[in-house]
Amino acid sequence: MLIAIIIILVLIIIFGPQYWVTAVLKKYSMPQEHFPGTGGELAVHLIDKYQLQDVKVEKTEHGDHYDPTDKTVRLTADKFDGKSLTAITVAAHEVGHAIQHQKGYLPFQFRQRIVTFAIAAEKIGAYAMIAIPFIAIFSRSPGLSLLMFILAVGSMLIGTLVHFITLPVEWDASFKRALPILEEGQYISDQEMKHAHKILTAAAMTYVSGSLASLLNLGRWIAVLRR
């Protein structure tokens, strides 16, 4: 009974945030014809308004984000072409990151450095997991296999840790950048503003929720290696 409760709690911790983020973004994704433009058009407008030099807006299939290397705000089709509250609010959030970049916001710059490190570490972890069975077979060294396992697990956990550490950067993009933009520009109504708070919270939590869900892959690897 206790084990079942622990498993349920772990699943809630892993999948709860991702489910909530997805549910919030979907809830406010219905088209609203009173908006004068799409999320993509709002992003272009804000880039011009705040004079963000060389920043572009593109449609993507790989999740809404701002790419500081290419100086590009990338929005999925439903946000880029959509006239929903989610599309408008998420576009403002991603432009918020572009504003952080141009203004040299130090936490944003720090995040870029450690995210690059985390991506490399996660790849190393994945390769280490794949290599463990072969090392165990050919080296016949339990110590070496254990060392590789610790390296793999540690590397894969780094990504989750990084997203927790850099959550303040997402929070700043939502509530210190995007929210004032939406309020001052009166791009949405007062009634819609309270819903925008939920969307901005979800936008800030996107990477953390995805990172938590990715821990399930780590559990699968461990289960496979125990066979």
Catalytic site positions: 94
State the number of CA atoms in the 13 A half-sphere of 186 facing the CB: 0
Q: 133: which 2 tokens?
A: 């069975």
Q: Are 69 and 112 in contact (CB under 8 A)?
A: no
- Residue with tokens 């959509």, as numbered in its chain: 82
Helix (H, G, I), strand (E, B) or coil at 72: strand
Q: Do 10 and 63 meet the contact criterion of CB atoms below 8 Å apart?
A: no
Cβ pair 25, 199 in contact under 8 A: yes
The three-state secondary structure class of 25 is helix
When computed from its CA atoms, the radius of gyration of the chain, rounded to whole angstroms, is 21
How far CA 32 is from CA of 82, 90, 100, in Å, comes to 9, 15, 29
